[in-house]
Structure 1
């Protein structure tokens, strides 16, 4: 039987050893953080890091306000930026376009906190499904999270991407599906030299619908590909087309296919156990001509909401999405939410790459890009909204 004084002495020694080891660990971690800013502690709270906006506030209506602290990464600190959106690398002469943040009317929307985001998605998975603007958004999030951790690329040799945040057991994926439904190339050239596609409006695109059932969060989008030359099929027969210039086929507006594609996508998600965010149409800002006829986006400041309204195709596409969303809810699909960025991005004609997605002297056929968004740039504010929506889901 151990004597009490001896037992106390041993316990005291153990406590001292634990204290010394803990102090050494703290010193080591502090040294790492000082020498590696990407591992630094979360920024102190400020008005922009206030508690999440109340659910009653419409975070999708507001204006862009100056943010002198932005950007929160640069094209030199983040390797995930696609060259065509790397505006500063390719000589964009102004930088004011990165000094704004989205401010909803009547409430505060906290700036994206990478630590809070990764804590919410710890042990979970998120997938983007859609076109290259979805990829643009994913790369924005990777850059914003780079202050905490860079992911490991787990991707197969396809257009799909899978990123693993090891320290948080979080997976972020991207599935290429610009029409959300089954499609195929009908003619490599087509009437405008960019190809003619077959679009099967009532058939699932199994390249993503067969892979998303294990995910916790899904962000779906589609948009500008619906302006391409396409032939529309329903029940395996031609019902019309978009600029196909084929005999005896009726030309239909892009919204015809857009509406039906979302209807089919929502049907695919009826048994999805996770949460789906439908990201709405992000407007292009071509002025002075169409994308292939000299159009460009040369503005250098945001617009104000009180003088800007949705109209034309942007209004029609946005309305079609929301109507199909409401119809899906009416059919009992309660796992879908709206991430309505259309109005806020309508105000940012200054945020596109324009000609600054490649070197000016390059002898390549590239049109001015007024569809995608510079990184860093306005699309980073989508992360503020995404974090707010995930916070709301955590409180449900």
Structure 2
């Protein structure tokens, strides 16, 4: 009997051979996809938001940190603070009709901002994607925890943005008695409680972060005495109550001020009426942030995360806030189209340096320092300010402040800050 060799290309043999090969290929594709997904979230997890990955050198005065600078994380990580704004078809997280927390001064929809194009962009980091904010997941992750925002009106702007995003899932209730009113007319502290989640978000008005006295109680006419080595006790005394603290402030440091350390006048800014030496405003910014961070790091009972949000540039064009300036652009800048100003870069440097100055103390006390670096992203958004649409026609923002190119519309580009903050605060949970 003659044996016949089987044909390796016969249909039955081909199928027998192809089947396991296809299965192996499919498994390989799935495995590769799993690796890609894992890598994507590893990039976000390792983003340059913790201080250990933040800038250790000052950027050039005319531009934000470059990709090759030491602010970029180690190889394989994606820096979510570097990127560009790209068109977005997703609707905003909220509107002025769905969120009851929007202040009129940032309610651009209510007061008829001509173009809503500013809502149709999202932040695209270089080399990875930044997921949209998941309000339900945030509240669940923050169950039983608390966060405090400390700073000026931009801290309030951010605070209201977060409340609005979270209101899609749950509405908080304001708790506490009638708030103390500051000499400037602002409430010193406001607390909002998400009852079902046991999560509390608090806002402290402290535009200098340190102890500050107004020599003349008439707002705008007086001189501020800034005690750069003494934290503002109105918030610092409550640090142990919170799991996370977000510090931010820069713009008030331009107000006429005399600087004190150890109870003695050591300097002033250009508007300070004193015989002491004039010092750069950035000197006061660095000292104030260093003092505030030191109070948190060495505070009894605080073992959470202290976050510094970097400055957000204003976009007045064709004049300043009091000389006819406005912000009428309807699209973001492209990267490199508008270099970061020297003063803005100097102030951001001062904030980063304050973090470096406090790192050793923080490590000894088990406190984590983090940098929420939004300066580059927000420098590209001249279209996201209220301009004249934070009040009725003929009205004002504050006093003679008619046009607002400093604060941000709600909803608007500022909602990115909460997206970045969420991923920062949740890093350990994803490891």
**TM-score (normalised: structure 2):** 0.77
- Work out the CA distance in 2 between the residues paired with 1:285 and 1:124: 36
Map of 2:321 onto structure 1: 291
Q: Residues 308 and 347 of structure 1 are in contact (CA less than 8 Å); yes or no, is this contact kept in structure 2?
A: yes
Shift of 1:277: 1.0
| Deviations 1:285-325, CA, capped at 9 Å, x for gaps | 11122222222212111111233432311000001111111
Shift of 1:195: 3.1
SS for the counterpart of 1:226 is: helix
| Deviations 1:311-351, CA, capped at 9 Å, x for gaps | 31100000111111122114444411111111111111111
- Work out the CA distance in 2 between the residues paired with 1:156 and 1:352: 33
- Work out the CA distance in 2 between the residues paired with 1:152 and 1:189: 33
Shift of 1:362: 3.3
Instruction: Return the index of the structure with the highest Cα Rg.
Output: 2
SS for the counterpart of 2:414 is: helix
Q: Which one of the candidate residues 103, 121, 132 is aligned to 1:111?
A: 132
Q: Residues 51 and 110 of structure 1 are in contact (CA less than 8 Å); yes or no, is this contact kept in structure 2?
A: no
**TM-score (normalised: structure 1):** 0.83
Q: Which one of the candidate residues 337, 344, 351 is aligned to 2:370?
A: 337
- Work out the CA distance in 2 between the residues paired with 1:144 and 1:51: 22
- Work out the CA distance in 2 between the residues paired with 1:121 and 1:194: 42
Shift of 1:361: 3.1
- Work out the CA distance in 2 between the residues paired with 1:204 and 1:89: 38
Shift of 1:130: 0.7
Q: Residues 258 and 273 of structure 2 are in contact (CA less than 8 Å); yes or no, is this contact kept in structure 1?
A: no
2:402 paired with 1:375:
no
Map of 2:147 onto structure 1: 126
Q: Which one of the candidate residues 230, 234, 252 is aligned to 1:207?
A: 234
- Work out the CA distance in 1 between the residues paired with 2:103 and 2:94: 15
Map of 2:62 onto structure 1: none
* Gap runs ≥5 in structure 2: 1-36, 47-76, 180-186
SS for the counterpart of 2:239 is: coil
Map of 2:389 onto structure 1: 356
Q: Residues 244 and 251 of structure 1 are in contact (CA less than 8 Å); yes or no, is this contact kept in structure 2?
A: no
Q: Which one of the candidate residues 206, 211, 229 is aligned to 1:182?
A: 211
- Work out the CA distance in 1 between the residues paired with 2:145 and 2:361: 27
2:323 paired with 1:323:
no
Q: Residues 180 and 262 of structure 1 are in contact (CA less than 8 Å); yes or no, is this contact kept in structure 2?
A: yes
Alignment of 1:147-162 (within 5 A): 147-158=168-179, 159=187, 160-162=189-191
Map of 1:386 onto structure 2: 421
Alignment of 1:170-249 (within 5 A): 170-189=199-218, 193-244=220-271, 246-249=273-276
Q: Residues 211 and 232 of structure 2 are in contact (CA less than 8 Å); yes or no, is this contact kept in structure 1?
A: yes
Q: Residues 188 and 196 of structure 1 are in contact (CA less than 8 Å); yes or no, is this contact kept in structure 2?
A: no
* Gap runs ≥5 in structure 1: 1-46
| Deviations 1:244-297, CA, capped at 9 Å, x for gaps | 352523332210110100111111012331111111111111112222222221
- Work out the CA distance in 2 between the residues paired with 1:211 and 1:332: 18
Q: Residues 304 and 368 of structure 2 are in contact (CA less than 8 Å); yes or no, is this contact kept in structure 1?
A: yes
Change (3 A) 1:245 1:138: closer
2:346 paired with 1:346:
no
